[in-house]
Chains A and B, each alone.
Chain A
Amino acid sequence: MKVLVCVKQTFDTEAKIELKDGKIADAGINLIINPYDEVAVEGGIQLKEKKVVDEVVVLSAGSDKAMDAIRTALAMGADRGILIKQDTGADEYARAIALAAAIKEENPDIILAGHVAADDGSSQVPTRIAEILGLPHINVITNVEIADGKATCTCEADGGTLVAEVALPAVISSQVSWNEPRYPSMKGIMQAKKKPVTTADAVAADNKVKIIEFAMPPAKQAGVKIDDEPDVCAAKLADWMLNTVKIEVK
Chain B
Amino acid sequence: MAGTWVIVEQRDGNIRKVTYEMLSEAKKIGDEVSAVVFGKSVEGMASEFAKYGADKVYAVEGDVFAEYNTGAYVAQLAAMIAEYSPNAVLFAHTFNGRDFASRLAQKLEAGLATDAIAVELSAGRGVFTRAIYAGKAIAKVEVTTNPVLATIRAGVMEVAESAGAGAVVKPAIAATAGDVYQNIKSFVPTVSARPDLTEAETVVSGGRGCKGPDGIKIVETLADLLGAAVGGSRASIDSGWLGHELQVGQTGKVVCPNLYIAAGISGAIQHLAGMSSSKFIAAINTDPEAPIFNVSDFGVVADLFKVIPTLCTELKK
Binding site for B on A (CB under 8 A): 11, 13-17, 19, 24, 35-36, 91-93, 96, 118-124, 127-128, 130-132, 136-140, 142, 152, 155-167, 175-177, 207-217, 220, 222-231, 233-238, 240-242, 244-245, 247-250
In the bound complex, do residue A118 and residue B185 qualify as a contact, i.e. CB atoms below 8 Å apart? no
Does B61 count as interface, using CB distance less than 8 angstroms? no
Interface on chain A toward B: helix, strand, loop, or mixed SS? mixed
**CB <8 Å contact, B226 and A152:** no
B15 to chain A, nearest CB (A): 12
Q: Which of B64-78 contact A (CB under 8 A)?
A: 70-71
In whole angstroms, what is the CA distance A210 to B308 when docked?
47
Docked Cα-Cα span, A135 to B307, in Å, equals: 54
Pairs across A and B, CB under 8 Å, 8 listed: A11-B133, A93-B110, A127-B70, A177-B243, A209-B144, A220-B281, A222-B299, A224-B297
Chain B residues, Cβ within 8 Å of A238: 311, 314-315, 317
B103 CB contact (under 8 Å) in A128, A212, A215, A230: A128
12 further interface pairs, Cβ-Cβ under 8 Å (given A93-B109, A217-B131): A13-B250, A127-B102, A138-B182, A159-B190, A160-B189, A208-B111, A217-B136, A217-B137, A233-B284, A237-B314, A241-B259, A247-B259
Would you call B144 and A208 a contact (CB within 8 A)? yes
Binary flags per residue of B13-26, CB closer than 8 Å to A gives 1, else 0:
00010000000000
Give Cα distance in the complex from A11 to B184, angstroms: 36
B268 to chain A, nearest CB (A): 7
Q: How far is the CA of A86 from the CA of B186 in the complex (A)?
A: 40
Q: Which of B36-44, B80-88, B93-101 contacts A (4 or more CB under 8 A)?
A: B93-101
When C-beta atoms are compared, the residue in chain A nearest to B132 turns out to be A120
B224 contacts chain A at the CB level, 8 A cutoff: yes
Encode B179-220 as 1/0 by CB contact (under 8 A) with A.
001111111111000001000001000000000000000000
A162-B245 contact given A13-B250, A225-B296, A238-B315, CB 8 Å threshold: no
- Give 6 nearest A-B pairs by CB, closest first: A208-B111, A238-B314, A234-B310, A177-B244, A230-B306, A127-B102
Q: Which residues of A lie under 8 Å from residue B189 when comparing CB positions? A: 159-160
